[in-house]
Amino acid sequence: MRILILLLLAACALAGLQTWRIGGLHDEADQAQLIIGTLSTGIESRDNAINRLNDEAVTRERQEQSLRTQLVRASQQARDREYDIQRLLNENQEMRDWYAARLPDGIGRMHSRPAFASAADYLRWLSGGNELPDTGKLTGH
């Protein structure tokens, strides 16, 4: 009977030990699930960022292609204009003389003004104490 009681106590002790180990494994499993959830969220966030960057790259490629197309058109128009100018110059002596003539002084002074990219650039230039050159316009008429 003692042996049976000892065996029962040993069995209860083993069952308690196993229950404790199972409880520890459950805690580890819960921690693993939490880590998996965090990693899954990180992977999803990374995938969203990759998709967004891919979309932006496609958009940028389309914009670049559009700019290349515009550049080709502008180059063609410039070539066409240059061709027309050369054709007109070759056709007409009066046009060649006009094209080769020196600009009038007033026009030359206008071309000596600095180039401005915006109104703000012009205002900054003026506020620096710089004045526009005289255009040669007569006053008092």
Residue 104 phi, psi (nearest 5): -60, 155
DSSP secondary structure code for residue 138 in this structure = -
pLDDT in tens, 36-66: 999 999 999 999 999 999 999 999 999 999 9
CB 97 within 8 A of CB 89: no
Instruction: Identify the DSSP state of 114.
Output: P
Give the pLDDT confidence score for residue 140 in this predicted structure: 42
User: What's phi and psi for 38, nearest 5 deg?
Assistant: -65, -45
pLDDT digits (tens, 9 = 90+) for 94-140: 877 887 888 777 776 666 666 777 777 777 777 766 555 555 554 44
- Give the pTM: 0.43
Give the CA angle between residues 56, 58, 62 to the nearest 5°. Answer: 115
Taking the CA atoms of 125, 126, 131 and 137 in sequence, report the sign of the dihedral they define.
Answer: positive
